[in-house]
Amino acid sequence: MSFFKGFFYAGRGLLNALTERNFRFHLCAAATVIFFGARFYSFRTSEWAVLLLTCAVVLSLECVNTALERLCDKVCPEHDELIKKCKDIAAGAVLIAAIFAVAIGVVLFWSTEKFAEIVYFFSEPLRLVLLIIGILLEAGFVFLPKQRGQDKKK
């Protein structure tokens, strides 16, 4: 029975991660590249594997970074230079993964022919409106205000 409890705890952890703006940003970026990849690109299995693994690495590191920051804040609520360095290094790990994710995205998605196809696809007014609504919904999701009572980052 404890095996299934682990899934419950992991799900609860993901819900906690959703309270973090950076996690929501990376989640929206992953959803966007997966959508565009599925709709406009004919990726091979290996390319899909690279894309999905890249998304998973960035999201996972964001979760680890958040967990480390919260642990540091609990263990040492006052300013401490070593704690600050630990938090900065963890954030740096996410930054490295995100930079390489962008590079992988450029390698996988860069195609002037596909860009023209995408522009043509969204030149239909209804599709353009839906794209704009999607972008606004993602922006609203990313920039949700923090709920009262949540820990403040230092």
pLDDT at residue 154 in the model: 44
Catalytic residue at 81? no
Shared-domain flag, residues 89 and 120: no
What the block records as the tokens of 109 is: 């998605």
Q: Tell me how many domains the chain contains.
A: 2
pLDDT at residue 115 in the model: 96
pLDDT at residue 146 in the model: 74
Rounded CA gap, 94 and 42, in Å? 29
Shared-domain flag, residues 62 and 29: yes
Q: Report whether 59 contacts 29 (CB < 8 A).
A: no
What CATH number has the domain bearing residue 20? 1.10.287.3610
Shared-domain flag, residues 126 and 65: no
pLDDT at residue 3 in the model: 85
Shared-domain flag, residues 84 and 117: no
Rounded CA gap, 73 and 82, in Å? 12
pLDDT at residue 2 in the model: 84
Domain that holds residue 120: 111-141
Shared-domain flag, residues 79 and 68: yes
Rounded CA gap, 147 and 20, in Å? 11
Shared-domain flag, residues 119 and 75: no
Q: Report whether 114 contacts 40 (CB < 8 A).
A: yes
Mean pLDDT by 10 residues, the chain (154 residues): 88 94 97 97 97 98 96 94 96 98 98 96 97 96 77 49
Shared-domain flag, residues 60 and 136: no
Catalytic residue (one of 20, 62, 113, 138): 62
User: Does the residue 56 lie in any domain?
Assistant: yes
The backbone region for 149, taken as left when phi is positive above 0, alpha when psi lies in -120 to 50, beta otherwise, is left
